Amino acid sequence: MPLIDELDAVVFDVGEVLFGWSLRALYAKLIADPAKLDWFLANVVTTGWHFQHDAGRSTAETVAELVAEHPAHRDLIEAFPRRFSETITGPIPGMHELVAELDDRGVPLYAITNFGHEFWALFRPSQPIFDRFRDIVISGTERMMKPDPAIFELAKQRFGGNAARMLFVDDRADNVAAAEAAGFRGWQFDGDAARLRAALLG
Which are the contacts of 128, defined by CB distance < 8 A and separation ≥ 6? none
Residue 59: predicted pLDDT: 98
pTM of the model: 0.96
The pLDDT tens digits of the residues spanning 57-97 come to 999 999 999 999 999 999 999 999 999 999 999 999 999 99
| 128 and 58 in a common domain | no
Strands ordered across the beta sheet of 9-12: 135-138, 109-113, 9-12, 166-170, 185-188
| 182 and 118 in a common domain | yes
* Angstrom distance (rounded) from CA 114 to CA 108: 21
| 40 and 13 in a common domain | no
Among 72, 87, 102, where does a domain finish?
Answer: 87
| 109 and 9 in a common domain | yes
For the chain, how many structural domains are there in total? 2
Residue 194 sits in a domain of what CATH number?
3.40.50.1000
The pLDDT tens digits of the residues spanning 4-59 come to 999 999 999 999 999 999 999 999 999 999 999 999 999 999 999 999 999 999 99
- Look up the domain containing 83 and give its range: 23-87
| 77 and 129 in a common domain | no
| 116 and 42 in a common domain | no
Beta pairing partners, 167: 10, 185
| 141 and 79 in a common domain | no
Mean per-residue pLDDT over the chain, rounded: 98
Among 87, 103, 138, where does a domain finish?
Answer: 87
| 101 and 78 in a common domain | no
| 109 and 160 in a common domain | yes
